[in-house]
Amino acid sequence: MAYVITEKCLGEQYAQCVAACPVECMYPGNYKNEPFMVIDPELCISCGACQPQCPVLAIVDSEDAAPDWAKVNKELAPQFKNNPKVTPRPANDPPKKPGHKLGG
Ligand code: SF4
């Protein structure tokens, strides 16, 4: 089981989670022409360190909690893996997309 990044990250990419991950398995990229992040399910150890770092609560704690997004994370991880790291957005930066809000 791995943690999963969901729709709330799409268009946001705060990337606050990256520094918290002990196994460096969170990668940035573009999905549907919007900035996004994924978790590599092959490497994630389900430690939970990333989850509280996300300002919009985009991370869920299992593949079962968001099976469609789990599939997206899994498919994109090999493509995003070698992308250059991105500079995190401030955690209090307002979300860019309507429907997303700080604190979930
Ligand atoms: Fe990384 Fe832990 Fe989050 Fe998995 S649960 S992505 S290992 S910080």
Closest-CA residue, ligand 1 atom 2, reads 47
CB within 8 A of 7, min separation 6: which ones? 58, 69
SS3 95: coil
Closest-CA residue, ligand 1 atom 7, reads 44
Whether the Cβ atoms of residue 38 and residue 26 lie closer than 8 Å to each other = yes
* pLDDT, average across residues 77-87: 98
* pLDDT, average across residues 44-64: 98
Query: How many other CB atoms are there within 10 angstroms of residue 97's CB atom?
Result: 13
Please state, in angstroms and rounded to a whole number, the distance separating the CA atoms of residues 5 and 7.
7
Q: What is the pLDDT of residue 56?
A: 98
Would the pLDDT of 74 be above 90? yes
* pLDDT, average across residues 16-44: 98
* pLDDT, average across residues 14-39: 98
Closest-CA residue, ligand 1 atom 3, reads 50
SS3 73: helix
Would the pLDDT of 38 be above 90? yes
Please state, in angstroms and rounded to a whole number, the distance separating the CA atoms of residues 11 and 5.
12
Would the pLDDT of 104 be above 90? no
Q: What is the pLDDT of residue 103?
A: 95
Looking at every residue in the chain, the average pLDDT score rounds to 97
* pLDDT, average across residues 6-28: 98
Nearest ligand 1 atom to alpha carbon 59: 3
Whether the Cβ atoms of residue 103 and residue 55 lie closer than 8 Å to each other = yes
The secondary structure of residue 28, as a DSSP letter, is E
pTM over 0.95: yes
